[in-house]
Amino acid sequence: MISRLDPYEEAKKQLRVTSSILGLSEEEYEALATPERIVQVKVPVIMRDGKVKHFVGWRVQHNSALGPYKGGVRYSSETNLSEVMALAMWMTWKNSLAGLPYGGAKGGIQVDPFKLNQLELMQISKNYFSAITPFVGVDLDIPAPDVNTNPQTMAWFLEAYEERTGRMELGVVTGKPVELGGLNTRIYSTGLGVATIAEAAAKKLWGGIEGRTVAIQGFGNVGYYTAKFLAERGAKVVAISDIKGGIYSSKGFDPEKVKEFITKQGSGFVIDYQNVERRIANEELLTLDVDILVPAAVENVITPELGPKIRAKLIVEGANGPTSPEAEEILVKKGVVIVPDILANSGGVIMSHIEWVNNRMGGWITEDEAKAKLIQKMTDSFNAVWEFWEKRLGGLGGAYSMRAAAQAIAVDRVVRAMKLKGLI
Ligand code: NAD
């Protein structure tokens, strides 16, 4: 949900709309908008030339009414405090909507990780986590990977925590390597969740997903696994793209074959795949005459200019913030169903919760059990949002998007917890 506008201001604007739907007071709105704690740290790294360079990092803990804070840590030269504050707030809503016993947080370091070598990356990760260690913990705040961080980063975080506290608590971070208590389901959990939600929405709209045509923008972690699980469910993935452009086939692609080609034989880009009817630009992919569109690349790709040209009946947001607010208004008026990111891409954090519980129990959950739990939780969340949207906000044809319904359910849960605790 990041936009080119100030992200925290945007997040507050969305909260204003939700507050008016729920009839919250100004004091309640303020209590929800304000983060509980902002930690800023300076992270020293001995660079390869022997000089010490300092980077700035943050951990923003937005709200803990429902449980310990939870949210990823990103490494990006673009990140800033406003972005981390907005992402922390969105994590509160995402965790609440999923019915997880977590509050919301986010972390970030302002750094271009592609300019660091492995040793520098290890230092920045360990020193950042050491600096925020007084504020994290298995029952306090549980970080996870986000943009440009991965299971290796989590292993460094875990080691820094153990070094600093003398305690080996596997559940202090999630998204860890399997050797350190991570789950092998984590890699595909977001895509599995997006496909589960697309199927649930297709059932509501058409009675099922079998034979429905799908266009997917982005063929990374989320895009590829979404394509794979949708094809397994009988949908026809007719278009796929990545940063270089896209491919189209009316017969549908086998996503596993495309993936195999681009990783093993090709250049790494889908545009070089051979069995295609035609190659298409990203913009064309977004406006194809398909049943389902899954933006799974970057934010703000569905612009107000593209809004009127979009022909898909169902948009399932795999990426964070792919639809601009103005475009959403146009699409809602056109009767397009948009399943919002906080619902559609919550598979990752749900799997993180399963990992955290497993670590705390010293358990050995199986892959099938973890998958079944994820599918159940996402289906329940989808049904709750659909029902609220239809019964309280007029549903399809009404003035509100499904995002408004999702956010209202999420904020309402947090409000009720805060009231019970005497916080508002
Ligand atoms: P990724 O880096 O694995 O893949 C991104 C894909 O998008 C690549 O195929 C890339 O070529 C393509 N892409 C990049 N810029 C593009 C552009 N301008 N036009 C078209 N394609 C472009 O990333 P990911 O992990 O798959 O994440 C994708 C989105 O999903 C992001 O918004 C991310 O925040 C969100 N998300 C990811 C997860 C997760 O578990 N990975 C969870 C929740 C949300």
Contacts of 160 (CB under 8 A, 6+ apart): 125, 126, 127, 129, 130, 133
248 and 317 inside one domain: yes
pLDDT at 1: 45
pLDDT at residue 3, as a whole number: 46
Q: Which residues are catalytic?
A: 106
| Of the candidates 156, 154, 36, 40, the residue with the CA atom closest to the CA atom of residue 105 | 36
Q: Which pLDDT does position 366 carry in this prediction? A: 95
What's the whole-number mean pLDDT along residues 146-165?
97
Question: Ligand 1: which residue has its CA nearest to atom 4?
Answer: 220
- Enumerate residues lining ligand 1, CB below 6 A: 190, 217-223, 241-243, 282, 296-298, 318-320, 345, 348
pLDDT given for residue 299 in this prediction: 87
Q: Has residue 110 been placed in a domain? A: yes
Do 130 and 202 belong to one domain?
no
151 shares its domain with 39: yes
For residues 250 and 275, membership in a common domain is answered with yes
The predicted model gives 20-27 an average pLDDT of 96
- The tokens for 59 are 């951990």
Which pLDDT does position 267 carry in this prediction?
A: 79
125 with 207, same domain: the answer is no
Q: What contacts 154, CB < 8 A, 6 or more positions away?
A: 143, 144, 145, 173, 174, 175, 176, 177, 180, 182
In this structure, the answer to whether residues 341 and 196 fall within a common structural domain is yes
Q: What's the CA gap between 62 and 115, in Å, rounded?
A: 30
Task: Assess if residue 379 is contained within a domain.
Answer: no
What whole-number distance in Å separates Cα of residue 402 and Cα of residue 87? 20
Got the DSSP string for 307-327? GGG---SEEE--SSS-B-HHH
Task: Look at residue 349 and tell me whether its pLDDT is greater than 90.
Answer: yes
- Residues 164, 192, single domain; the answer is no
| N residues, the chain | 424
Residue 2 has pLDDT above 50, yes or no: no
pLDDT (mean) for 85-111:
97
Residue 194: which CATH number? 3.40.50.720
pLDDT at 4 > cutoff 70: no
Could you list the residue range(s) of the whole structural domain that residue 99 is in?
Answer: 35-170
pLDDT in tens, 361-409: 999 999 999 999 999 999 999 999 999 999 999 999 999 999 999 999 9
Ligand 1 centroid distance, CA of 165 (Å): 35
Q: Which residue's CA is the closest to the ligand 1 atom numbered 2?
A: 220
76 contacts 149 by C-beta, under 8 angstroms: no
Nearest to 43 by CA among 123, 104, 97: 123
Statement to judge: residues 215 and 316 lie in one domain: yes
Distance 75 CA to ligand 1 centre (A): 15
Report if residue 358 sits inside a domain: no
- Whether 369 is covered by a domain: the verdict is no
What mean pLDDT comes out for the span 276-281? Answer: 96
Residues 6+ apart with CB under 8 A from 148: 74, 75, 76, 113
| In a domain? residue 30 | no
3-state DSSP assignment of residue 222: helix
Provide the number of structural domains found in the chain.
2
Please state the rounded mean pLDDT for residues 146-163: 97
H or E element: which one contains 104?
A: strand 104-110
Whether residues 218 and 126 share a domain: the answer is no
Ligand 1: which of 298, 346, 355 to mutate, judged by most atoms within 8 Å of the beta carbon? 298
The residue with greater pLDDT, 45 or 6, is 45
Do 211 and 140 have their domain in common?
Answer: no
pLDDT for residue 79 is more than 80: yes
Residues 280 and 146 in one domain: no
Average pLDDT over residues 310-335: 95
Q: Which of 226, 217, 160 minimizes the C-alpha distance to 187?
A: 226
Ligand 1: atom nearest CA of 346 is: 43
The predicted-structure confidence for 242-255, as pLDDT tens digits, reads as follows 999 999 999 999 99
Residue 6 lies in a domain: no
Q: Kindly report the CATH number assigned to the domain that includes residue 139.
A: 3.40.50.10860
302 in any annotated domain: yes
- The full DSSP string for 344-380 is HTTHHHHHHHHHHHHHHHT----HHHHHHHHHHHHHH
| Domain assignment present for 390 | no
